[in-house]
Amino acid sequence: MTINGLVQIGLYFVVLLALVKPLGWYMARVYEGQPCGLDRVLGPVERLLYRLCGIHPADEMNWKVYGIVLLLFNAAGLLFLYGSQRLQHLLPLNPAGLGMVAPDLAFNTAASFATNTNWQAYGGETTLSYLTQMLGLTVQNFVSAATGMAILVALIRGLARRSATTIGNFWQDLVRSTLYVLMPLALLFSLLLVSQGVVQTFNPYQTATLMQPAEHAKPILDANGRPVLDEQGQPTTESATATEQVLAVGPAASQIAIKQLGTNGGGFFNVNSAHPFENATPISNFLEVLAILLIPAALCYTFGIMVGDTRQGWGVLAAMTILLIAFVPLGLWAEQSGNPGFTAMHIDQRPGEDQAGGNMEGKEARFGIANSVLWSAATTAASNGSVNAMHDSFTPLGGLVPLFLMQFGEVVFGGAGSGLYGMIVFAIIAVFVAGLMVGRTPEYLGKKIEPYEMKMAALVILIMPMTVLGFTALAVVTASGTSSVLNPGAHGFSEMLYAYTSQGNNNGSAFAGLNVNTPFYNLTGGIAMLISRFWLAIPTLALAGSLAGKKIVPAGPGTLATHTPLFVVLLIGVVIMVGALTFLPALALGPIVEHLLMRGAS
């Protein structure tokens, strides 16, 4: 590990943590209905929206009504996005003349963006029109993130209220999250990205003449735009000569801003934030990776304010930060150590004068290893899914880091809102474990944790691994699953495990190397994304409703303080224990055995 790389990573965490308190304070005032500065400008807009939609924000909902409204709203968004893809060839703002999207791919994409996953089994610039990207994907980037934030706020109210029957109004929480938090930040961030050269235009794609014609192998595609496979299941190609290059452009900056801030991750272009039109400079790279964790980190302080004890928020933030910081050095060491297979071939991987050396395959030279590893860890600790390097090209242990961070349940910062409500569930599990050890009824923030709460918490914890491991096993034992594997052996298994881990945790990043644009992967992946978003959201709301109806129990001598270093260590231990016991056997079959094979080959 180089000093330069460590300084860059250290600076990142310093800036991130410095922004937690001001943004967290602002969001607390937004959700508590207090003056926040922007209410003078946006207040009339908010009230107009309520009048136009017939919403009465003062009418609060119990958890069941809150959940039903949430499901119906997101179902409507999913159907709208599916329809816009199927009809995009008839709609305007399609300068490239792109056709309709295949039904299975349209379903997968609609489920992906409606669940804040933003998994992409397509190439953005070759599949979706400007209108579909803006009206379909970008809108979902806002409202899916706002949905996660609304669920979190409902759970916080459940912890803060006493003997209450309601947990808030979903429509008000959705509107406030979008109007006061996401939109102002996205507007500011878009302008910063444009200043760095990220494209934002409605002009059609540009054509450039190559100075030197290039021979290349061109994939043969079927009528649906999928590669035609040979008898061995490999893509077929034909020889071609390129004399021109089409440069895809479009309204990218506005989508990139909300894809990062909303922990969405879907790229406007196929290679995501490794594309120079999407991530142009080291400054834009720093801003984008900062935006990934900004809202999830700040929401911890919001949580502390809303429950009346900011120490609770700092404690949760400490657990998240320690878990992330613990994994970044492992990834950095693995990538900067290089590939022993290259060493055996006498390929020099030692550091040069201006770079760290090591495994540079699949990484942008302008970002280097340190920024690639930091991004891969941040984007998988959050449920973001954007990339500035190919995770499939990482060393086995370098690839294990983002994979294992997702398998913690996307609670190490996690998605906007969803990460923190997942970590709160882990905190409830932690106090339950502590209660078992001392023989005392567990309490969290003055609320007794009883069998009903533990059942809901258990559902939140168990549904994700059942989904991930179940669909991975299905892919491994079926011809439809294995026929898409281009890298047989341990790495091929890692690719399948990564795909369903990403979709089953609503992350969206990919190992690549696996052809997932097939009916099997599109349908099973879409189902996995829907299960992991909404089958976790409903138990969380049920937990919020149950806690809201409880009285506050005064703290006594046996009460476990949930803001101390001891509890932070306990919380970290529970997260690691659940993740390790669930996924270590699968990891042993993938990246761990691949690492041993790679070292043995050297």
* pTM of the predicted structure, to 2 decimals: 0.92
Q: Which residues contact 591 (CB under 8 A, 6 or more apart)?
A: 396, 397, 399, 400, 403, 490, 494
Cα–Cα distance measured from residue 133 to residue 127, given in angstroms and rounded to the nearest whole number: 10
Instruction: Categorize the per-residue pLDDT at 321 as very low, low, confident or very high, splitting at 50, 70 and 90.
Output: very high
Q: Are 254 and 190 a contacting pair, CB within 8 Å?
A: yes
pLDDT at residue number 461: 94
Instruction: Categorize the per-residue pLDDT at 512 as very low, low, confident or very high, splitting at 50, 70 and 90.
Output: confident
pLDDT at residue number 294: 97
Cα–Cα distance measured from residue 27 to residue 296, given in angstroms and rounded to the nearest whole number: 11
> What would the two tokens of residue 557 be?
């001598």
pLDDT at residue number 601: 56
pLDDT at residue number 350: 63
Bigger pLDDT: 354 or 1?
Answer: 1
Reduced to 3 states, what is the DSSP secondary structure of residue 250? Answer: coil
- Is residue 465 predicted with pLDDT exceeding 50? yes
> What would the two tokens of residue 217 be?
């192998």
Instruction: Kindly report, residue by residue over 395-439, the tens digit of the pLDDT.
Output: 999 999 999 999 999 999 999 999 999 999 999 999 999 988 877
Stretch among 9-18, 28-37, 233-242 having the lowest mean pLDDT = 233-242
Instruction: Categorize the per-residue pLDDT at 558 as very low, low, confident or very high, splitting at 50, 70 and 90.
Output: confident
- Position 545, amino acid: G
- Is residue 1 predicted with pLDDT exceeding 70? no
- Position 11, amino acid: L
pLDDT at residue number 475: 96
Cα–Cα–Cα angle for 503, 506, 509, rounded to 5 degrees: 65
pLDDT at residue number 357: 67
Mean pLDDT along residues 476-499: 93
Instruction: Kindly report, residue by residue over 14-40, the tens digit of the pLDDT.
Output: 999 999 999 999 999 999 999 999 999
- Is residue 602 predicted with pLDDT exceeding 90? no
- Is residue 351 predicted with pLDDT exceeding 60? no
Instruction: Kindly report, residue by residue over 96-127, the tens digit of the pLDDT.
Output: 999 999 999 999 999 999 999 999 999 888 89
Reduced to 3 states, what is the DSSP secondary structure of residue 62? Answer: coil
> What would the two tokens of residue 248 be?
């895809």
Q: Are 382 and 414 a contacting pair, CB within 8 Å?
A: yes
Mean pLDDT along residues 222-227: 76
Instruction: Categorize the per-residue pLDDT at 237 as very low, low, confident or very high, splitting at 50, 70 and 90.
Output: confident
pLDDT at residue number 354: 43
Instruction: Kindly report, residue by residue over 336-350, the tens digit of the pLDDT.
Output: 888 777 777 777 666
Bigger pLDDT: 35 or 3?
Answer: 35
- Is residue 355 predicted with pLDDT exceeding 70? no
Q: Are 244 and 176 a contacting pair, CB within 8 Å?
A: no
- Is residue 353 predicted with pLDDT exceeding 50? no
- Give the ranges where 478-509 is alpha helix by DSSP (H): 479-482, 490-504
Q: Are 380 and 323 a contacting pair, CB within 8 Å?
A: no
Instruction: Kindly report, residue by residue over 440-454, the tens digit of the pLDDT.
Output: 789 999 999 999 999
Instruction: Categorize the per-residue pLDDT at 11 as very low, low, confident or very high, splitting at 50, 70 and 90.
Output: very high
pLDDT at residue number 356: 52
Q: Which residues contact 23 (CB under 8 A, 6 or more apart)?
A: 294, 295, 298, 301
Percentage of the chain beyond pLDDT 90 is 79
